[in-house]
């Protein structure tokens, strides 16, 4: 009997571990082992836990039609999870275990230890488009700047591109009769994720609609949070419900020359797939990133001020900067934040408030439906100036001009800050003088002065390095 161990790959489409298990033509079972204690330790957001649960039940339905029983077991952490797997294999006379790799360090340590046990376990790669370790510079090392990585990544794909694996459900010719898998419910805090459709609906409806109607304007629309100009695929990629190779395949079907145009405006969306691979490749090559260390060691001397008052104001969306506050409310209320806004609020916390980027990274993971260690770590270190190919420390986003540029009619701010409904547009992006003159107290004061905070940040970084 073969066992397919599902982890961060909740799909039947383009799933190499599942495909390899089915190719043996041996009977198969499937298993998922939840680890609520480990999830808490890793700050997994309740909305993401709910999202995983919904997709695990979808997976159970799909596997059931293939005649594969999916079993859910619960343990506490990775050590207990490993023991749970070993006991299951012994009890059910499992011959081989098939699983897809996870790039994070704790997961790698767990899998390495399992490989040394008396268990035949095979690992495959399913989380990236280009195999980790295959895109290197002239010295045989991982790129530390995104643009040359992106060009080498696209060139590698032009030479080696292979279509994703077909859905096992449609390609397998020896399906046994279906089984009825039991509904799965996690014993962990959850937040409703039902506003996000399941991955099968996304592949059938959302992806085609994006490719046909939004892709051509993506390079412009992506920066405006009031416009639904992004694909919204990040939550599905984060839990492996949709394959990144499948998304690339759909893109190349619509735009066969996309890889050649990756450095052009029309290649803007493909850049996002390349960024995702870049951050996961970095985690593979530099495992210390898993330990929340600065990528650039010269910033280890920074003594972050870490004001509890400023951190709390930022977390609550009460900084007095409307674009920052509206963004944080979007995160708290929906479990998601527009990418341009992620850059703005991260820059504000680290460079206006001088709060350690790790505290912002943790808060994001606790709330994001698409929380992903590689991208979250990469984005926060980029904003803080401590990371790989990071924004330099002396580049400090002005939240007022960013607001004026990317929310020019104020519609995003008004959506999440009804306190400012009656403020005229010309005052909306920093309304304090207007509110004071009109004796309006519906909005809170600014926690820092931009010009003063900018000078403090410049001095802080120069002193730290």
Give the pair of three-digit tokens for residue 391.
């924004």
Active site residue 272: yes
Spot the catalytic one: 266, 304, 419, 444.
Answer: 304
Give the pair of three-digit tokens for residue 99.
């699983």
Active site residue 444: no
Q: Tell whether residue 274 is among the known ligand binding residues.
A: yes
Q: Tell whether residue 373 is among the known ligand binding residues.
A: no
Q: Tell whether residue 278 is among the known ligand binding residues.
A: yes
Q: Tell whether residue 230 is among the known ligand binding residues.
A: yes
Distance CA 65, CA 81 (A): 27
Q: Tell whether residue 382 is among the known ligand binding residues.
A: no
C-alpha gyration radius of the chain: 23
Spot the catalytic one: 296, 339, 419, 444.
Answer: 339
Spot the catalytic one: 250, 266, 272, 404.
Answer: 272
Backbone angles phi, psi at 262, to 5 degrees: -65, -25
Distance CA 218, CA 462 (A): 37
Residue 441: count of CB within 10 angstroms of its CB:
10
Q: Tell whether residue 389 is among the known ligand binding residues.
A: no
Spot the catalytic one: 39, 153, 336, 380.
Answer: 380
Active site residue 187: no
CA 50: distance to chain centroid? 16
Q: Tell whether residue 372 is among the known ligand binding residues.
A: yes
Active site residue 357: yes
Give the pair of three-digit tokens for residue 212.
């046909």
Spot the catalytic one: 357, 376, 377, 382.
Answer: 357
Tokens 């039940």 belong to which residue? 57
Active site residue 382: no
Q: Tell whether residue 233 is among the known ligand binding residues.
A: yes
Q: How far, CA to CA in Å, does 208 sit from each of 131, 212, 454?
A: 26, 6, 44
Spot the catalytic one: 5, 153, 196, 275.
Answer: 275
Closest CA to 375 of 386, 385, 365: 365
Q: Tell whether residue 370 is among the known ligand binding residues.
A: yes
Q: Tell whether residue 273 is among the known ligand binding residues.
A: yes
Distance CA 36, CA 292 (A): 22
Q: Tell whether residue 263 is among the known ligand binding residues.
A: no
Active site residue 5: no
Q: Tell whether residue 461 is among the known ligand binding residues.
A: no
For the annotated binding site, the residues are 218, 230-234, 269, 272-279, 370-372
Which residues are part of the catalytic machinery?
Answer: 272, 275, 304, 339, 357, 380
For the annotated binding site for FAD, the residues are 218, 230-234, 269, 272-279, 370-372
């Amino acid at each position: 009997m073969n066992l397919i161990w599902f982890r961060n790959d909740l799909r039947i489409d383009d799933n190499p571990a599942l495909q390899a298990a089915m190719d043996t033509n041996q009977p198969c079972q499937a298993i998922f082992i939840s680890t609520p204690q480990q999830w808490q330790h890793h700050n997994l957001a309740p909305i993401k836990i709910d999202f995983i649960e919904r997709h695990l039940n979808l997976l159970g339905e799909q596997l059931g039609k293939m005649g594969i029983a999916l079993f859910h077991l619960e343990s506490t952490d990775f050590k207990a999870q490993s023991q749970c797997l070993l006991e299951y294999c012994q009890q059910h006379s499992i011959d081989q275990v098939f699983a897809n790799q996870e790039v994070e360090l704790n997961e790698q340590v767990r899998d390495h230890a399992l490989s040394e046990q008396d268990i035949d376990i095979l690992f495959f790669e399913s989380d990236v488009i280009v195999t980790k370790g295959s895109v290197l510079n002239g010295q045989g090392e991982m790129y530390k700047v995104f643009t040359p990585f992106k060009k080498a990544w696209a060139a590698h794909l032009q030479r080696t591109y292979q279509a994703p694996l077909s859905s096992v459900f449609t390609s397998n010719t020896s399906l046994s009769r279906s089984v009825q898998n039991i509904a799965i419910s996690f014993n962990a805090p959850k937040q409703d994720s039902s506003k996000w459709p399941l991955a099968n609906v996304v592949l059938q409806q959302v992806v085609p609609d994006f490719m046909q109607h939004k892709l051509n304007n993506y390079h412009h629309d992506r920066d405006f949070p009031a416009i639904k100009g992004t694909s919204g695929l990040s939550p599905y990629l984060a839990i492996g419900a949709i394959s990144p190779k499948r998304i690339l395949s759909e893109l190349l079907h619509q735009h066969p020359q996309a890889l050649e145009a990756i450095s052009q405006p029309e290649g803007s969306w493909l850049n996002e797939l390349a960024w995702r691979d870049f951050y996961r490749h970095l985690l593979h090559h530099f495992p210390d990133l898993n330990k929340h260390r600065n990528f650039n060691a010269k910033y280890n001397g920074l003594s972050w001020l870490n004001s509890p008052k400023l951190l709390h104001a930022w977390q609550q969306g009460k900084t007095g900067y409307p674009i920052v506050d509206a963004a944080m409310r979007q995160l708290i209320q929906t479990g998601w934040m527009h990418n341009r806004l992620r850059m703005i609020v991260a820059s504000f916390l680290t460079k206006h408030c001088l709060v350690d980027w790790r505290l912002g990274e943790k808060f994001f993971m606790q709330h994001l439906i698409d929380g992903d260690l590689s991208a979250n770590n990469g984005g926060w270190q980029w904003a803080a100036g401590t990371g790989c190919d990071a924004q330099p420390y002396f580049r400090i986003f002005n939240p007022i001009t960013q607001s004026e540029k990317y929310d020019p009619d104020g519609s995003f701010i008004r959506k999440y800050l009804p306190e400012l409904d009656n403020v005229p547009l010309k005052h909306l992006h920093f309304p304090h003088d207007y509110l004071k003159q009109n004796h309006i107290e519906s909005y809170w004061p600014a926690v820092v002065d931009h010009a003063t905070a900018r000078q403090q940040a410049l001095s802080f970084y120069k002193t730290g390095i």
